[in-house]
Structure 1
């Protein structure tokens, strides 16, 4: 059995174990909690094995394989790692309960579904563009999940719903602070990724990627306006939530839209 498959199966088992530990901790503790030792150990081990499996699926002897399923599991590995780091820094265990199942599912699909998408040879500049894009998309995905939690928290506070789940959330101000921290870092990475793309991709039109570039620039503009509004005008609440989700939707349309067109429509 290939190492990618063995490490992938082991990662899925460890994801399930980490989720079990985390769910038990949330059910039995009243206070807001960070990841405990068992959650951290199994979660980090799962992410490491996930990363190994994803890397071996993407990096082939004849080049890089960027099939939609394979690159998605690499992105989910990055999202899981960022979620765990966030959870270790702050008591936001609820994020892991959403990210880990998605990571395990993406990993399972990558082990079951192969792709005929051709491998590519990348120079250092293109490799930097891909790496920066993966990190930026991952951080924006995590920020969007954070925005969804913030929307849920806002809704419950406005309607005075004091549920057991609500007690697991940090204060609203801390949630918004974390959201904009993620957005700032992701925006810097996206800026670098776009710059690297313009510098090192020879002909975007010839590669069938103009709409990916357009949507990425639109998303960059949305996030830039949102961050400027936060800094200059103090935007928060629903404005921050809607801006984050709108920008991420544009990134999804650009990235997965282009992947679907190239891999399944033009490739078919």
Structure 2
């Protein structure tokens, strides 16, 4: 069984769902959240089949930049669909679904490296909490971008179009901070488990990831303290959120890119 056909179908579904949601925001089509979730779910199913086929082909655990892109983008899509049942976050599909589609394309172009040994429970806890933290904060980052668009529209007195399709500003901001709180709890678990169960988190191949992850934690913790104590909100909160997530993005994928692509090390 080949993974590529499932990947192509998943890409079509992802882009279709994202396009409908984008047209909804611009008030070109009626709001159909069930349709977006349904098409997104079909994309996730095909995405999961891609992962299953590739796991079968590699006969076990697979690590590296390409598998990480494919796996974490699927996790982000799953979390977004689940959370959209309780929170108004489905608009984030506009950014996250195309990124999932892009990760499938890019994942097939990047080189794969050797099969890894089975993880011990502590390392598995670190890996799972890291992936969940990254996924949760990815949704928060796109929510922050939408919040910035909404802030800008209101400041320029543009009250038609996208501004009418988004939830109220206070709701958007509240949801963003809820996502950051959950993401920070997971990131804290990831960092603590890394120190407990990895042999040396400051080893040469882990140093950049450790330093950047800690920097992201400090930035996002500072944002939460500033919001709670000093009342930070609006564009200041957006900027801190995006800077923190950018550091986390570099920690998770920047080091892998340098090691595997630029230095050609597995």
> With structure 2 as the length reference, what TM-score do the two structures score?
0.88
Q: 1:185 maps to which residue?
A: 182
Where does 1:52-71 land on structure 2 (aligned, <5 Å)? Answer: 52-54=49-51, 56-57=53-54, 61-71=58-68
Mapped pair 1:155 → 2:152: yes
Partner SS for 1:264 = helix
Q: CA shift at 1:214, angstroms?
A: 0.7
Q: 1:180 to 1:55 in 2, by over 3 A?
A: farther
Higher mean alpha-carbon deviation, 64-73 vs 91-100, is at: 91-100
| Mapping of residues 207-222 of structure 1, within 5 Å | 208-222=205-219
1:82 aligns with 2:79: yes
Tell me the residue number matched to 2:225. Answer: 228
Note the alpha carbon deviations across 1:2-41, whole angstroms, 9 max, x for none.
2x33432332232244345545655233xxx4612x3222
Q: 1:133 Cα shift? A: 0.7
Q: Distance in 1 between matches of 2:16 and 2:229?
A: 44
Q: Which runs of 4+ in 1 moved over 6 A?
A: none
Alignment of 1:165 with 2:162, yes or no, is yes
Is 1:113–2:109 an aligned residue pair? yes
Q: Quick one: structure 1 residues 129 and 267, their matched pair in 2 at CA, closer, same or farther if it must change by over 3 Å? A: same
What residue number does 2:9 align with?
A: 10
For structure 1, the residue ranges without an aligned partner over 5 or more in a row are none
Q: 1:236 to 1:14 in 2, by over 3 A?
A: same
* Equivalent residue, structure 2, for 1:261: 258
Runs of 5+ in structure 2 lacking a partner? none
The answer on whether the counterparts of 2:184 and 2:220 sit within 8 Å (CA) in structure 1 is yes
Distance 2:199 2:186 in 1: 21
CA distance in structure 2 between the partners assigned to 1:181 and 1:51 by the alignment? 27
Q: Against the structure 1 CA distance between its residues 34 and 231, is the aligned structure 2 distance closer, same or farther, given a 3 Å change threshold?
A: farther
C-alpha RMSD of the superposition: 2.3
C-alpha distance in 1 between matches for 2:15 and 2:208: 38
CA gap 1:12/1:244 in 2 versus in 1, 3 angstroms: same
CA deviations 1:142-177 (Å, max 9, x no partner) are: 111111111111111111112311111111000000
Cα distance in structure 2, aligned partners of 1:120 and 1:207: 19
C-alpha contact (below 8 Å) 1:87/1:95 kept by paired residues:
no
Taking structure 1 as the reference length, the TM-score comes to 0.88
